[in-house]
Structure 1
Amino acid sequence: MPRKIPLRQYVQLLSGYLRPQWKSITALTALLLFTIALQLINPQIIRYFIDTAQSEAQPRALLYAAILFIGVSLVHQGITVWATYISENVGWVATNKLRGDVAAHCLRLDMSFHKSHTSGTLIERVDGDINALANFFSSFVITLMANLLLVFGILALLFIEGWQIGLGMLFFVVAAIWSIQYIRKYASPYWGKMRQMSAEFYGFLGEHLEGTEDTRANGATGFVMHRFYELLRKWLPIRVRAFFGFATMWITTIIVFAIGNAVAFAICAYLWNKGAMTIGTVYMIFYYTELMAKPIERIRTQIEDLQKADASIVRIQELLATKSAIPEGTGAALPHGPLSVRFDRVTFGYEDTATTLGGIDFELGKSRSLGVLGRTGSGKTTLARLLLRFYDPRAGGIYLGGVDIRNPYVRDVRQRVGMVTQQIEIFQGTVRDNLTFFDDTIADDRIVGVLEELGLGGWYRSLPNGLDEMLESSGGGLSAGEAQLLAFARVFLSDPGLVILDEASSRLDPVTEQKIEAAVSKLLHNRTCIIIAHRLATIQRVDDILVLEQGRIVEHGDRQTLARDSGSRFSRMMATGMEEVLA
C-alpha cells in the first residue's frame, strides 16, 4: 500500500506553485461560481416556459423565455471555454515550474545518484510523473469545490420544491460519493505501481537505445527484445488492475445515476398525481437530477486524477528529498588566477568497491603542470573527479589555492576547474550554445577568436550559419578531432584556474594532435594543469610527474629529475615505451 499523503502536503504543494498565479486562480474561481449560477437558473426558465405554455399565455412571454434560455446557455458555454483556458494555463505554468525544480534538483545530485538511476528513469520522473499532476494543479481544488457547491445548490432548490424529492436526491448524492470513495481506496495502490513500472520500462528503453550500436555489434538484440517483452508482460496486469479500478468507479456511478433517476421519477409521479406540482416542475426536477449527475461525474474524475496524483506526488517528493552526497559549501572564495593543488592524505573508494585511492599526498604549485601516469584502474580519473567535487574523499582534504575544496560553493569550484575528457558530449543546439553552455555574456568575437586559435577557423568559416549553425546531438556530423577541439574551446572560454586533460588527445590522429599543440600551450599559459595520459608525447611539456599504482603514489617528482634517474619508474617507462608499461 502506498504511503498516505497528509492533507498539509497537498496544501504545501498547491500553495507553493499556485500562489504566484493568484490572479488567475481568483478569476477562475469567479468564473466557475458564475457558471454554477447559470446552471441553476436554466431549469427555472424551462419550468416557466412549460407552465406558461400550458396556461395558454401570450406567445410573447414564451418567446422571451426561449431567448433568455438560449442567451444563458451561450453565456455559460463562453464562460466555460474561458475558464478552461485559464485552468489549462495555470496547470502548465505550475507543472513547468515543478518540472524545472525537479530537473535542477537532479542536476545538483552527486554522481553516485546518477550512476544508480538511468536517464530513462529520470525522464519519466521529471516528465511522466509531473504530467500526471497537470489537472491537480490546474483545477483540482477549485473544480472539486465548484462541483460540490453545484450539488448543494441543486439539493437546496429541490428541498424548496418538496422535502420528499430533496431527501430522495440527498440519499442519491451520499450513496454516489460514498461508493466512489470506497472503490478509490482499493484502486489507488495500483496507480502507484503503474507509475513505478512505467519508470522502470522507460529507464530500460533509454539505456538500450543509447547503446544500440553495441547491442547490434555484439549480437545482444535477442536478449534486449526478450527483456523488452518481459517488462511489457509485467506492466500489463498492473495497468489492467489500475484501469479496472477506474472502470469500476465509472460503472458504479452509472448504476447510482440510474437509481437516482428512478427515485426522482417515482417521487415526481407521486406528487404530480396528488396535484402538488405542475408538469413544468416535474421536468425541472428531472433536469436537476440529470444535471446533478454531471458534478458527481466530475467529482469522480477528480478523485480518479487524485489517485494518479497521489502516486506521482509520493515519487516526486521522494526524489526531492534525496540529498546529494556532496554537501554545499559555505561560500568561501577561491583566489583568482592559477590555482595551486594539494592532496592531504586523501582516501577514497566508490560505493561498490574497496579503497580506490589510499593516502594520496602531494602538492602542485600554481602555474605548474603535472603529468599523472598509471595503469588502467590505478585511480587517475578518480583524482580528476575529486577535484571537480563529483565525489568527496572519505578521509583527508583537497585544497585549491589554499582553500579546502569543500568550503566554496560547488558551482564555483566547477567554474574554476576546467576539464577535457576522452568522451565529448555535443548537445543539440547551435555552435554558440555548445561552446558557451547558453551563457549569453560571452561575446561572439571572443568565441570566433578562440576557434581561430585552436585551428578551427576554416571549419567555422565553412558553416553556412556561423555560430548559429545547429549541431546534432552526440556530435553527429563532426569528426572526433573537431569534437575534441570544441571541447578545448569550451575550456578556453570558461577561463579556469586549473585545467585537467584526462587523456584528452587519445581520440586524435597524429596530424590533428600536432595541430592543437600550440593551442594547448596557450591554454596552459598562466594556468595550473594536470594531464592524465597514456602516451609520452602528451606529457613532454609537464613540470612534474606523478605515478599511481593500485590507488597509491609510487613516484612523484620533477619530470627532468626523474627522467635522468635511471632507477625511477618514469625513466624505465621512457626507455621501455610507456604504452607497453601501462597496457
Structure 2
Amino acid sequence: MSWLFQYLKPVRGRLILLLIMLLTSTGLQLVSPQIVQHFIDTAAAGGVIGSLIQLAGLYLVIAIANQLISVAVSYFGNDISWRATNQMRGDLLKHCLRLDMKFHNVRTPGEMIERVDGDVTSMSNFFAMFIVQVIGSFVLLTGILGYMFTLNVPIAIVMTVFTLMSILFMVFIRNLGVSSSKNERESSAALFGLIEERIAGIEDVQANGHVPYVMNRFHRLMRSVFLRGKKAWMLRVIPWNSTVIMFTLAVTAVLLLGVHYYLDGVISLGTLYLIYQYTQMLNDPIELLGDQVQEFQKAKSGMLRSRELLALRSEIKDGEEDQLPEGALGLKFEKVNFSYHEDKPVLQNISFAIQPGERLGIIGRTGSGKSSLSRLVLRLYNIDSGVIRIGGKDITQLTLPALYRRVGMVTQDVQLFDGTLRENLTLFDSSVSDEIIKETTGRLGLSHWIDEQPQGLDTHLAAGGTSLSAGEAQLFALTRVFLTNPSLVILDEPSSRLDAATETMLQVAVDRLMSHCTGVIIAHRLATLDQVDKIIVLGDGKILEFGEREELAANPTSHYAKLLSTGREEELA
C-alpha cells in the first residue's frame, strides 16, 4: 500500500475533492426516495396541490444536482487516474532504460510496451475510483441500513444480513482471479512482442515467405490470450454472480415483509415504496463493490508485474568518481574476460593499451569479439574478470554520466527520433548552437543534404530513418558523436555502408575530427585503417596480434601483413 500511496500522494487534493463530491452524491441519493415517500403519503392523504408541486420541484433539483455531481466525479476520477498512472509509466520506463543490456537482450520492445503501458492501464480504474467508491459505497450502505432501522427493525435486519454476507464473501475471494489475470497479462505481452518483432523484421518475413509461419504463431498466441482471458474473467465475475443470487433472495424477503406490514396497516404506502426503493438502492453499492473486486484483481495482477519489473536491478553499478583527466584519454585492457553465457566465452585474456591521442584499429572475422570489446568500454555489459581503464581510471569506479560525457560510440544502426533535424543531430540538447552543427556537418559532408531539406535544421524527421540513405545515416551518426566533443571515440565499422567516394570523404573528415581525441576503429575494410597507429587482430575472442601498424605491415609473417598482401578483406567478414 505504501508503494500505491506514493503515486496517489501528488493528487491527494483532487482525491479529497472527489471524495467530498461522492459523499454529497451519496447524501442526495439517500434523500431522493424520502421525498418520493412524502409525495406519495401527501397525495394519498389528499394534501394540497402546492405541497405536491414543491416536493416534485425539490426532487427535480436534487436529481439535476446529483447528475451534475456524477459528471464531475467521472471527470475528476479519470483525471486522478491518468495523473497517477502516468507517473507510474514514467517510473517504469526510466527503470527499463537504466537496466543493462542482458535484460533488454531477452525482452522485445513489444513486451516492454505491454509492461509499461498495458499493465498500468489495468490499474487505472483502481487509482481513479477504487478507494473513493469503496468509501462511498460503505457510506451509502450505512445510511440506508441506519435509516431502515428507524423505520422497521425486522426488514433492516434482513437487509443487514444480506449486506454483511455479500461483503464478507467478496473479501474472502478477493484474490481468486489475481493469478489468472496475471497470466492473461503475460499472454498479452507475448502477443505484442511477436507483433513488434515481426513488423520490425518485415523485409525478411516477406522476402523469405514467412508470412504463413508468422500468422500461425499469431493465432496460437491469440488462442492463449483468449483462453487465459476467459478463465480470468470467469474467476473475476464470481463475486458479481454471487451477489446477484443473494440480492434476489434478499429482495424477495424484504418485499414479502413490506407487503405484510402494509396490509396490516403498520406502514404507509409511501413507506412501502421507500423500503422497496432502498432495497433496490442497496444493490447498487453491493454491485459496485463486486465490480471493484474485479478491478482490484486486474489491478493487483498489474501491480505484481510492475513491482517485479521495478525490483529488477541492473548488473551495471554506478561508481563514485565523476571526473576524468582533461584532453584525449588513454585506454587500457588488463586481462579482460567476458561472456554473454557462462559456457561460451566471447573475450579471453584481452590485454592492450593505447596512449592518449592514438588510434587503434581492430580487425577480425565475424564473431571474433570486435563489437563486444567496444561495448565493454561503455559498460553496456559487465566484464567477468579483469580491468578496463580510461584515462588511467577503472571504469567501474566512474559514474555512468561521467563516462558517457567523454566517450562516444558510432554503431552501424542509426536511430532517428520523431523530431526536427536539429533535435535528432543534438539528441535534444538545446545548448548546441546551429553554428557548431553546421561546422561539424560541413566537415562530414552533410551540409549539402541539410541545405536540400525544405526547412533546413527545422525539418521534421519521422522515426525509423527511412528519410536517410545508408551513407547519410552513417554520416548522421558520426555527427551526433562529434557534436558531444568526446575525448575517446569508438567507430564500429564506420564505412561498412558507404561507397568508395563517400568513404574517402568520410576518412578525411574523421581524421580532422579525431585530431584531438583517442580513437578506436573497428574495421571491415582494411583501407579504413590506413591512418591508425596500432592494430589488434582478434580471433575466437583472443588477441592474435597487437602492435604498431607500420611494424605489423612490414612484418611478412604477421596476420595484418598477410591480409594486406593478399587483399583478402573477405576474411574479415
Q: What TM-score do you get using the length of structure 2 for normalisation?
A: 0.96
Partner residue in 1 for 2:370: 380
> Any conservation in 2 of the 1:155–1:166 contact (CA below 8 Å)?
yes
Comparing 433-442 with 505-514, which one deviates more in the overlay? Answer: 433-442
Q: After superposition, what is the alpha-carbon deviation per residue over 1:437-480, rounded to whole angstroms, capped at 9, x for unaligned?
A: 22222223322332222211121112112223222232112111
Letter matched to residue 176 of structure 1: S
Where 1:139 maps in the other structure, the secondary structure is helix
Q: What is the CA distance between 1:179 and its match in structure 2?
A: 4.1
What is aligned with 2:140? 150
- Look up the SS of the partner of 1:325 in the other structure: coil
- Structure 2 SS opposite 1:519: helix
Instruction: Report matched runs for 1:555-574 at 5 Å.
Output: 555-574=545-564
Q: Which moved more, 1:135-144 or 1:121-130?
A: 135-144
Decide whether the 8 Å contact of 2:322 with 2:402 is kept in 1.
no
Distance 2:497 2:283 in 1: 68
Deviation per CA, 1:35-74, whole angstroms, max 9, x where unpaired?
1111111111111111111222222111111111111111
Contact 1:535/1:578 (<8 A) preserved: no
Question: SS where residue 491 of structure 1 aligns?
Answer: helix
CA distance in 2, matches of 1:90, 1:205: 32
Q: What CA distance in whole angstroms lies between the structure 2 residues aligned with 1:318 and 1:188?
A: 15
Shift of 1:313: 0.9
Within a 5 Å distance, the mapping from 1:548-559 to structure 2 comes to: 548-559=538-549
Rounded to whole Å, the distance in 2 between the matches of 1:102 and 1:26 is 27
Q: What is the distance in 2 between the residues matched to 1:147 and 1:438?
A: 49
Secondary structure (helix, strand or coil) at the match of 1:418 reads: strand
Deviation at 1:168, TM superposition (A): 0.9
Cα separation, 2, equivalents of 1:579 and 1:80 = 74
Kept after mapping to 1: 8 A contact 2:8/2:127: yes
CA deviations over 1:491-525 (Å, ceiling 9, x no partner): 11121111001101100111221222232122211
Partner of 1:3: none
The amino acid that maps onto 1:370 is: L
Q: CA deviation at 1:115?
A: 0.8
Question: Please, which of 150, 162, 166 is the counterpart of residue 172 of structure 1?
Answer: 162
Can you list the C-alpha shifts for 1:389-439, whole angstroms capped at 9, x where unaligned?
011111111111111101122233123211112222222332122212222
Instruction: Sort the Cα spacing of 1:188 and 1:395 in 2 relative to 1 into closer, same or farther, 3 A.
Output: closer
Deviates more, 1:209-218 or 1:558-567: 558-567
Q: CA deviation at 1:184?
A: 4.7
1: CA distance, partners of 2:103 / 2:350: 25
Residue 452 of structure 1 is matched in structure 2 by 442
1:444 corresponds to which letter in structure 2? D
Separation (CA, whole Å) in 2 of partners of 1:279 and 1:441: 78
Deviation at 1:354, TM superposition (A): 1.7
1:431 aligned onto 2:412: no
Q: Please, which runs of 5 or more residues in structure 1 have no aligned partner?
A: 1-10
User: Is 1:278 matched with 2:278?
Assistant: no
Q: Does the CA contact (< 8 Å) of 2:332 and 2:390 recur in 1?
A: yes
Question: Quick one: distance in 1 between partners of 2:90 and 2:60?
Answer: 45
Give the Cα–Cα distance (whole angstroms) in 2 for the partners of residues 335 and 161 of structure 1. 85
The answer as to whether partners of 2:507 and 2:528 remain within 8 angstroms in 1 is no
Spell out structure 1 runs of 4+ moving beyond 6 A: none
Distance in 2 separating the partners of 1:578 and 1:336: 40
Question: Separation in 1 of the partners of 2:326 and 2:38?
Answer: 84
Pair 1:371-2:361 in alignment: yes
C-alpha distance 232-409 of structure 1, shift in aligned 2 (>3 A): same
Match of 1:4 in 2: none
The worse-fitting range, judged by mean Cα deviation, of 331-340 and 22-31 is 331-340
- Letter of the aligned partner of 1:361 in structure 2? S
Distance 2:438 2:240 in 1: 63
Q: Tell me if the contact between 2:495 and 2:525 (Cα under 8 Å) persists in the aligned partners.
A: no
SS of 1:438's partner is coil
- Aligned partner of 1:223 in structure 2 is 213
State the alpha-carbon separation in 2 of the partners of residues 460 and 404 from structure 1.
Answer: 40
CA distance in 1 between partners of 2:213 and 2:101 (Å): 28
Deviates more, 1:454-463 or 1:170-179: 170-179
**Match of 1:424, SS?**
coil
CA spacing shift, 1:282–1:252, aligned 2, 3 Å:
same
> What does residue 233 of structure 1 align with?
223
Q: Give, in whole Å, the separation in 2 of the partners of 1:166 and 1:186.
A: 31
1:184/1:245 contact within 8 Å kept: no
Residue 312 (structure 1) shift: 0.8
Does the 8 A contact of 1:132 with 1:308 survive in 2? yes
In structure 2, C-alpha distance between the alignment counterparts of 1:578 and 1:531, rounded to whole Å: 19
Map residues 243-254 of structure 1 onto 2, 5 A cutoff. Answer: 243-254=233-244
Quote how far apart the aligned CAs of 1:248 are. Answer: 3.9
Cα distance between partner residues in 2 of 1:362 and 1:126: 42
Cα deviation digits, residues 235-274 of structure 1 (max 9, x gap)? 3222222222344443333333322221221121122122
Task: State the identity %.
Answer: 40
> In structure 2, what is the equivalent of residue 5 of structure 1?
none
The letter of the residue matching 1:405 is: I
**Match of residue 35, structure 2, among 45, 49, 58:** 45
Aligned length: 573
Q: Distance in 1 between matches of 2:523 and 2:122?
A: 48
Deviation of the 1:554 alpha carbon? 2.0
Of residues 310, 314, 318, the one that matches 1:328 is: 318
The 3 A distance-change label for structure 1 pair 352 and 463 is farther
Q: CA RMSD in A?
A: 1.7
Residue 304 of structure 1: CA displacement?
A: 0.3
Q: Say which of 472, 477, 496 aligns to 1:482.
A: 472
